Amino acid sequence: MVQSRNARSLIVLVSYHHRNTEKIAQAMAKVLKAEIVKPSEIDPSSLKEYDLVGFGSGVYSAQHDPSIIELAKRIPQVQNKRAFLFTTTGAPTIAMNDEFIKSNHSKLRTILESKGFVIAGEFGCRGWNTNSFLKAFGGLNRGHPDQEDLANAEKFAFSLVG
């Protein structure tokens, strides 16, 4: 179920560590002509006004930010609505694959599916990580998201709207 570029789209974003995920969200928002909001800026019942809703954040303790999870729990049941999930992760290249990306999304995915959303796609890429002891070594994934990550995010967004 691919929708036209006239579909009304929204991105709910939390990106506080290095604004890594914000860069990805902006690349997607440009393609989707989507507004980007924080979870605190949106009434969960108003999400039904959108055809396509993206939920993105850094990976924090192996999941989306808790404020996104809490928002998802408060969304009333929907019908014929599509959602997509995206994250940036501080994990090293060797750990990056679809399975790892999706495992970080699993809590949010389960909640959204229980609300009736169809998950239209999932995206993940590396993001600069200086959390905890990593700071002492200059962090992991310095320079990410890079131009290739942003191009992949754009490509992903196009795939959602045909």
- Residues with Cβ < 8 Å from 100, sequence gap 6 or more? 89, 91, 124
CB of 115 to ligand FMN, least distance (A): 24
Judged by CB under 6 A, which of 39, 54, 58, 124 binds ligand FMN?
A: 58
124 C-beta neighbours (distance < 10 Å), count: 28
Classified as helix, coil or strand, 116 is coil
CB of 18 to ligand FMN, least distance (A): 4
- Residue 152, phi-psi category: left (phi > 0), alpha (psi -120 to 50), beta (remainder): alpha
Q: Please tell me whether residue 62 binds ligand FMN under the rule CB under 6 A.
A: yes
Residue whose CB is less far from ligand FMN, 50 or 128: 128
Q: Which residues bind ligand FMN (CB under 6 A)?
A: 15-22, 58-62, 88-91, 127-129, 131
